[in-house]
């Protein structure tokens, strides 16, 4: 099953190695310590500073964010570009802090404004479970618990395991503290079978489509004026289960305040033609393209090509 993975929350900047690796357990523990055990104001007010420090300390990641913003929306003024690169890093830091505060004295359920709610209501009423496709945008892992609270649905986030197992476990504990289930998958062709059972039980299976990890199958699409791929897994899961695919993308409006946009569900027959698979993949890509174009600093895609 194809799935896309974050590293320590939303997708992390470019990888490094060693004890001081940005995505390693040392920094994750320090972040968890501050978010969970520090004063509550620390969760709200320190991330912008930390995000700016990260942008200054990681020039390669900073350039990748700049290049990605250029691909999304084209040229802008130098001042606007610097501001938007900084906003991407500070939004990322804010999301990390809020996620890592889960299960602690500082935990709070975020406010969530939703548009397109009737699309989700209609998908749920079909009674086949729901396949949610999303991306590494601000708030992707906070929205699941909100839907669980208001809709009574179990939400399973399907992710590729990040390379540092200890760091992954720390972040997963924080995610699970809110009721969000986390499933790590690889290239195992039978990995999708448990998700079929969960869909039959009425759960929502959430999968990020903005990256296709190495060794996983993808479907070609056009996005941001270039050829890209999205994971094939969500479409095959819809084919096997009959569940609707619902694109949902999120943006951070401020401290513990998020916006989610729900797009029209997609359906696939049991035996789709290549044309049906291709057109559905493109429809999902178009939904992501539309959202990210409007909220470019909320997409944590730190890789220039992914």
Range of the domain at 228: 25-298
Looking at per-residue pLDDT, the higher value among 256 and 177 belongs to 256
Q: What pLDDT, on a 0 to 100 scale, did the predictor assign at position 110? A: 84
Determine, yes or no, domain membership for 305.
Answer: no
143: pLDDT confidence band, cut at 50, 70 and 90? low
Determine, yes or no, domain membership for 250.
Answer: yes
Determine, yes or no, domain membership for 11.
Answer: no
Q: What pLDDT, on a 0 to 100 scale, did the predictor assign at position 286? A: 98
Please write the tens of the pLDDT for every residue from 33-43: 888 889 999 99
For the chain, what percentages of helix, strand and coil (3-state, to nearest 5) are there? 45, 20, 35
CA distances from 48 to 39, 54, 93, 114, 157 (A): 16, 10, 7, 25, 27
For 227, counting Cβ atoms within 10 Å of its Cβ (0-12 exposed, 13-18 middle, 19+ buried), the class is: exposed
CA distances from 285 to 38, 151, 223, 228, 260 (A): 40, 26, 7, 9, 17
Q: What pLDDT, on a 0 to 100 scale, did the predictor assign at position 166? A: 72
Q: What pLDDT, on a 0 to 100 scale, did the predictor assign at position 25? A: 64
85: pLDDT confidence band, cut at 50, 70 and 90? very high
Determine, yes or no, domain membership for 153.
Answer: yes
Looking at per-residue pLDDT, the higher value among 166 and 266 belongs to 266
pTM: 0.85
Please tell me the total count of domains within the chain.
Answer: 1
Q: What pLDDT, on a 0 to 100 scale, did the predictor assign at position 153? A: 83
Please write the tens of the pLDDT for every residue from 87-128: 999 999 999 898 888 888 998 888 889 899 999 999 999 999
Please write the tens of the pLDDT for every residue from 150-191: 677 888 888 776 666 676 677 777 777 777 788 876 655 446
Report d(CA 256, CA 98) in Å as an integer. 7
Determine, yes or no, domain membership for 10.
Answer: no
Determine, yes or no, domain membership for 225.
Answer: yes
Please write the tens of the pLDDT for every residue from 215-249: 678 999 999 989 999 999 999 999 999 999 999 99
Determine, yes or no, domain membership for 144.
Answer: yes
Determine, yes or no, domain membership for 18.
Answer: no
Show the 3-state SS of 240-286: HHCCCEEEEEEEEEECCEEEEEECCCECCCCCCCHHHHHHHHHHHHH
Mean pLDDT of 280-289: 98
């Amino acid at each position: 099953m194809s799935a896309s993975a974050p590293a320590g929350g939303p997708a992390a900047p470019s990888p490094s190695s060693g004890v001081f690796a940005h995505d390693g357990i040392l920094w994750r523990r320090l972040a968890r310590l501050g978010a969970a055990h520090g004063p509550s104001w620390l969760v709200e007010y320190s991330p912008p500073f930390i995000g700016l420090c990260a942008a200054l300390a990681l020039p390669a990641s900073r350039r990748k964010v700049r290049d990605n913003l250029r691909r999304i929306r084209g040229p802008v003024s130098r001042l606007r570009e610097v501001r938007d690169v900084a906003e991407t890093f500070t939004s990322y830091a804010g999301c990390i802090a809020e996620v890592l505060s889960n299960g602690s004295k500082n935990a709070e359920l975020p406010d969530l404004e939703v548009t397109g709610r009737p699309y989700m209501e209609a998908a749920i009423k079909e009674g086949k479970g729901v396949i949610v496709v999303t991306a590494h945008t601000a708030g992707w892992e906070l929205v699941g618990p909100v839907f669980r609270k208001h809709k009574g649905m179990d939400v399973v986030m399907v992710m590729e395991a990040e390379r540092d197992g200890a760091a992954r476990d720390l972040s997963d504990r924080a995610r699970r503290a809110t009721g969000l289930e986390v499933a790590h998958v690889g290239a195992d062709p039978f990995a999708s079978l448990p998700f079929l059972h969960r869909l039959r039980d009425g759960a929502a299976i959430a999968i990020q489509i903005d990256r296709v990890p190495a060794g996983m199958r993808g479907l070609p699409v056009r996005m941001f004026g270039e050829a890209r791929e999205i994971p094939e897994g969500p479409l095959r899961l819809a084919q096997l289960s009959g569940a609707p695919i619902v694109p949902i993308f999120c943006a951070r409006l401020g401290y513990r305040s998020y916006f989610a946009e729900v797009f029209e569900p997609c359906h696939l027959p049991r035996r789709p033609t290549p044309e049906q698979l291709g057109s559905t993949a493109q429809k999902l890509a178009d939904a992501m393209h539309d959202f990210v174009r409007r909220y470019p600093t909320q997409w944590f895609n730190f890789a220039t090509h992914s």
